[in-house]
Amino acid sequence: MNMNHHSDDASQLTRLEPLLKAQKNAFASTPMPELNERLRRLNLLHNALLAYREQIYTAIDADFSGRSSAETEMAEILPLLEGIAYYRKRLKKFMKPQRRHASLTIAPGKAEVHYQPLGVVGIVTPWNFPFFLALSPLIGALAAGNRAMIKTSEFAPASGELLRTILASVFQEDEVAVVTGGVEVATEFTRLPFDHLVFTGSTPVGKIVMRAAAENLTPVTLELGGKSPAIIHDEFPIGEAARRLAFGKCMNAGQICVSPDYVLCPRNKVHEFSSLFIDAVEQAYPTLKENPDYTAIISERQKNRLERYLNDARAQGAQLMTAGSSNENLRNTRKMPMTLVLDTTEEMLVMQEEIFGPILPVIPYDSIEEALDYVAARERPLALYYFDWNQKRADHILKTTHSGGVCINDSLSHVPADDIPFGGIGPSGMGHYHGEEGFRNFSKAKGVIRKGRINTAALVAPPWGNLMYRGLMWFMEKKYRPVKIK
Ligand code: NAD
């Protein structure tokens, strides 16, 4: 780390507490922003995304040393615009207090739930989708009436700077603020007493963040990683599976939290799958080095990590199948070809660590039960992909497996789907954003009882044993008889 980073970190560190204080004060003065104010904030963000579109492509391209504007459009800008449009349309309904059932013990009275903004939401982001993963939680937080502080990733500095410029162009710092800097800043950031903290990143760091938040009893939404399996049923056309998986796996060169991490393939189809998968990749990306469509690896460190996985697999006897021509010398670039790993063992790093890059192990199975047992024996993944035209069998998979989300006959597409929640389970995370669940996640569901002028409670009150109390007990005894257990 050079001196500039140090001085930037130092200045960011001193900003943290005053920023949070300013945001908390501003929130306290307008604790329940009206619908129009929330729509205004979302619309400002919408306009800023349109105004800065080209600059966003360029900043991400610079951070990755090569990422296609089409991927940025498909995976960052469009889903953000759609996410804003989603809340714009439904916010009024989500904000409405709900009437709930008022039980006899509170009668006469009304029961309601009010969805109240929490206050200031902290958002910690990774480098792989530096705009989408910062702004998608922000959209939910703003829709629910909160203010927010965003900590960008030190590994996507151009994007972090641009994000700061964009948000500063439309928001006051006490509404939305951006903090840049390295691990030291991130550590202090997560120690701040936010009203809610969203962390997107790796599972090990997620544990550290949750520990820090526990000190303040700050509720967390953890969007973590893990190994998301793709299971291909024996009856599913193998070429179709190969093409669909190749599309998802190649996006961002596999640097996606929900990227298919390994494939469970019927044993007799492993060979066919592998060659069709490689064909599909080569068709989409005939060359790599000068091809702007194929994303590079974010850093030398990440590239070394992925190469270590491949060397380790090779040394332990795996077969590697690499897409693209071996004539292309990628040595001095950060591009890395898509590689299938066959004949894996559990000891290999590719089967122990989340891959997060263009490497895909293909694991043979003999029966679908065996494939499902394999998944069940491992940590609950962020996503599960199942390829099968048979809806009954697919429904069975939905009922018997646990994962953050599922795509049947596809991969990745549950992330940009606005009307369903997104989030992990267990080691792949907790809490949700997107959709109605996202709005609720960033709101306090406050239970409210309203009583009127008539107060029957006074009639039941002590001295106990009075007539009203005995009447109530008589009624309740009739209501609550033992039930028959079938
Ligand atoms: P990371 O965990 O290394 O870093 C994420 C963020 O945490 C960064 O902003 C970093 O500054 C901060 N950080 C690092 N150390 C910290 C500490 N000790 N205390 C507090 N904050 C700290 O993750 P990454 O390499 O940026 O991203 C890759 C990981 O993120 C993968 O595991 C991937 O699966 C996961 N991910 C998950 C989702 C999701 O939505 N579930 C999305 C994208 C990425």
Rounded distance from Cα 462 to ligand 1 centre (Å): 57
Please report, for residues 247, 351, 383, the alpha-carbon distance to residue 373 in angstroms, rounded to integers and kept in the order given.
Answer: 27, 16, 16
Q: Residue 68 is encoded by which pair of tokens?
A: 């296609």
User: Which residue is closest in CA terms to ligand 1's atom 23?
Assistant: 201
Contacts of 290 (CB under 8 A, 6+ apart): none
Model's pTM, two decimal places? 0.95
- Supply the pLDDT for residue 5: 62
- Supply the pLDDT for residue 460: 86
Crossing angle of helices 157-170 and 35-51, in 10° steps, is 130
- Ligand 1 atom at minimum distance from 181 CA: 11
User: Which residue is closest in CA terms to ligand 1's atom 26?
Assistant: 126
**Length reported for the chain:** 486
**Per-residue pLDDT tens listing for the chain (486 residues):** 444 566 689 999 999 999 999 999 999 999 999 999 999 999 999 999 999 999 999 999 999 999 999 999 999 999 999 999 999 999 999 999 999 999 888 888 999 999 999 999 999 999 999 999 999 999 999 999 999 999 999 999 999 999 999 999 999 999 999 999 999 999 999 999 999 999 999 999 999 999 999 999 999 999 999 999 999 999 999 999 999 999 999 999 999 999 999 999 999 999 999 999 999 999 999 999 999 999 999 999 999 999 999 999 999 999 999 999 777 889 889 999 999 999 999 999 999 999 999 999 999 999 999 999 999 999 999 999 999 999 999 999 999 999 999 999 999 999 999 999 999 999 999 999 999 999 999 999 999 999 999 888 888 889 998 998 999 899 999 999 999 999
β-sheet with 383-387: strand ranges across:
319-322, 339-342, 359-365, 260-266, 228-232, 383-387, 405-408
Are 187 and 212 contacting, i.e. CB atoms less than 8 angstroms apart? yes
Are 381 and 375 contacting, i.e. CB atoms less than 8 angstroms apart? yes
User: Which residue is closest in CA terms to ligand 1's atom 34?
Assistant: 225
- Ligand 1 atom at minimum distance from 153 CA: 9
Crossing angle of helices 3-29 and 183-190, in 10° steps, is 20
Q: How far apart are CA 467 and CA 473, in angstroms?
A: 10
Give me Rg for the CA atoms of the chain. Answer: 26
Q: How far apart are CA 138 and CA 41, in angstroms?
A: 11
Burial 392-417 (b: 16+ CB within 10 A, else e): eebeebeeebebbbebbebbbebbbb
Mutate to test the pocket of ligand 1, among 202, 297, 300 (most ligand atoms within 8 A of CB): 202
Phi, psi angles (nearest 5°) of residue 194: -65, 165
End-to-end CA distance of the chain: 67
- Ligand 1 atom at minimum distance from 154 CA: 11
Rounded distance from Cα 126 to ligand 1 centre (Å): 5
Rounded distance from Cα 205 to ligand 1 centre (Å): 6
Q: Which residues are catalytic?
A: 223, 257
Rounded distance from Cα 183 to ligand 1 centre (Å): 10
Bridge partners of 260? 228
User: Which residue is closest in CA terms to ligand 1's atom 15?
Assistant: 183
Mutate to test the pocket of ligand 1, among 205, 261, 434 (most ligand atoms within 8 A of CB): 205
The H or E element containing residue 114 is: strand 109-117
Are 408 and 394 contacting, i.e. CB atoms less than 8 angstroms apart? yes
Is the C-alpha dihedral spanning 168, 170, 173, 177 positive or negative? negative
The answer to whether the bond into 108 is cis (omega within 30° of 0) is: yes
Domains of the chain: 2-224+433-444 (3.40.605.10), 228-418 (3.40.309.10)
Instruction: Using DSSP bridges, classify how beta strands 383-387 and 405-408 pair: parallel, antiparallel or unpaired.
Output: parallel
The secondary structure of residue 461, as a DSSP letter, is P
Q: How far apart are CA 44 and CA 169, in angstroms?
A: 9
Mutate to test the pocket of ligand 1, among 128, 211, 218, 297 (most ligand atoms within 8 A of CB): 128
The answer to whether the bond into 463 is cis (omega within 30° of 0) is: yes
Rounded distance from Cα 306 to ligand 1 centre (Å): 17
Crossing angle of helices 132-143 and 78-95, in 10° steps, is 20
Q: How far apart are CA 21 and CA 28, in angstroms?
A: 10
The ligand 1 site (C-beta within 6 Å) comprises 124-128, 133, 151, 153-154, 183, 186-187, 190, 200-202, 205, 208-209, 223-225, 257, 354, 356, 382, 424, 429
Q: What is the 3-state secondary structure (H, E, C) of 310-351?
A: HHHHHHCCCEEEECCCCCCCCCCCCCCCCEEEECCCCCCHHH
- Supply the pLDDT for residue 1: 43
Rounded distance from Cα 124 to ligand 1 centre (Å): 8
- Look-up of token digits 């603020």: 177
- Supply the pLDDT for residue 2: 46
Please report, for residues 123, 149, 195, 442, the alpha-carbon distance to residue 120 in angstroms, rounded to integers and kept in the order given.
Answer: 10, 7, 5, 10
